Amino acid sequence: MQNILFGIRSRPFILLTILFLICTFVALSGSTFEAEKQFMTNIQKSAGNPSIDYTIWLLTESGNVFVMLPFSIVLLIIRKTRRIGMILLILLVVSSILTGYLKCGVDRDRPFLDWLGSELPFEVEPDSFSLFCEGRSWTAGFPSGHAARSAMFAFVLVYVLSEKFPRGVHLIWVYPILMSFSRIYVLQHYPLDVIGGSILGILLAGYVSKRLKLDDMFLPRKI
């Protein structure tokens, strides 16, 4: 079992917090905006292949709250995975609210670029949640909620599966990487948005999993 959970005073928590703050300050400064915009323009030049466009669209939709929610509920219902489901549900709620408010505070616009790819079955919609933000979080992009959620799910699943699959378990990290790329590809976020979201997701997952004693699932049972 890989010990990747961490408390609030641990080195990983402090380092991830510092990294997220750096990303936030860079986002506020706007110093990377033009470079990010040029990067996305170059990415868009490869759009237009229906197979690739539809695959990326399906991938980005898999990071929606209402897609991840049923998965967490199923784990919550099953007795053996109840703690995992509870932690994932809490992470979904906390991250959705937190990213919504952070978007309001940072107030960094989403990309306003024309989609040059294939016609998609449904329009890609931003998803943010904030109670007292007057709707600004829907047009603000930092940090990415999709990137945060996919990183959280990957973190928790890597931890719980690392004992049974010590070598191949890290392939799970491919999912949040592809999710982050998909958010850039469909013009919902700039690169810094998904980097910040991923860092925030790992930060929340490591801390909440430690606080809610996810590691207790793997302690020897007393007879």
Delimit the domains of the chain by residue range. 11-215
User: CA 156, 161, 165: angle at the middle one, nearest 5?
Assistant: 145
Count CB neighbours of 38 within 10 A.
10
Architecture of domain 11-215: Up-down Bundle (1.20)
- Under DSSP, is residue 70 helix (H, G, I), strand (E, B) or coil? helix
Q: Which residues pair with residue 140 across a beta bridge?
A: 109
Q: What is the pLDDT of residue 138?
A: 66
Contact 141, 189 (CB under 8 A): yes
Burial class (CB in 10 A: 0-12, 13-18, 19+), 103: buried
Res. 202: pLDDT tops 80: yes
Structure tokens at 89: 């549900």
Which range among 6-10, 91-95, 158-162, 166-170 shows the weakest confidence by mean pLDDT?
166-170
Nearest to 38 by CA among 178, 142, 190, 194: 190
pTM of the model: 0.89
Tokens of 200: 């925030």
Instruction: Compute CA distances 143 → 39, 54, 106, whole Å.
Output: 18, 24, 9
- C-alpha–C-alpha distance, residues 91 and 97, integer Å: 10
pLDDT of residue 223: 46
pLDDT band (50, 70, 90) for residue 175: very high
